[in-house]
Amino acid sequence: MKKIVCLLGLLLCFQRSFAQDKVVFTFSWAGETLRLNEMIYKSKRGLTYQVAQSQYFVSDFSIVYKDKTVKKIEKSVHYVDVEIPNTLQWVPSDDFSLKDADSIEFTFGLDAKENRSYRFKNPPENLMFWPDYLGGGYHYMKTNILYLDTENKINAFNCHIGRGQVYNSVGEPVEYIDNDFRVKIPVKKQGNSAVINLDIQTMFDYPNAELFTDYHGIMNNQKAMKTFSENIKAAFEK
């Protein structure tokens, strides 16, 4: 029996020694774990809402260490979905290490080089496609909510971010704008994991407190996408 206990102890030590460092993605609302499909949240503009879905891409990861060295993670594109548990943990590469890490940098969405139509062949990633007539490539984010309007009726708002458009006088897109941006956050460790959290309250309230009643969707509204992108950046950095 003693031999079995010793062997089990050695096995546990071995597993801990070789546990891979990883990135964990979480969702919150005002610091509390996000609860889906419950009409319990209130925006700064006074509307009650619930979150139905939240999905996004992050890419081009780098780890900045305390000695100022930088480790760029090659081929680092990752899809995050609040409803798919296996997307909420990510081991970028075998040599990924959080030891002495100071901060993480990443791109929200996909930059112009990475954002190529039809690169993803299978779901769920390929379901993030962005229509070609709106610029092609993929959504950076889909966060869908339902809210109560001033007459207490349920309405939908789809916060979909991707390539923006500039239109001519007859409503044709003549230029496309990439809305990806860089995020840099301090390393927040839980065990052998670095946590990247998206705070949904911030996403809709700060620095731009928006009324959902002004929109249904925003995929063809560059001004709105820019506004919400500023909030999303703050929501990661909170």
Average confidence (pLDDT) over 189-218 = 94
Note the pLDDT of residue 13.
42
Q: Residue 150's pLDDT is what?
A: 87
pLDDT of residue 119: 96
pLDDT of 1 reads 52
Across 37-43, average pLDDT = 98
Taking only the tens place, the pLDDT of each residue in 73-118 is: 988 999 999 999 999 999 987 678 999 999 999 999 999 999 999 9
Residue type, 124: P
Look over the chain and give the mean of its residue pLDDT values, rounded to a whole number: 91
CA distances from 39 to 28, 168, 211, 212, 219 (A): 15, 40, 17, 15, 25
Report the pLDDT averaged over residues 51-67: 97
pLDDT digit string, tens, across residues 132-177: 999 999 999 999 999 999 899 999 999 999 999 999 999 999 999 9
Over residues 222-236, the pLDDT tens digits come to 999 999 999 999 999
Per-residue pLDDT, averaged over 19-29, amounts to: 93
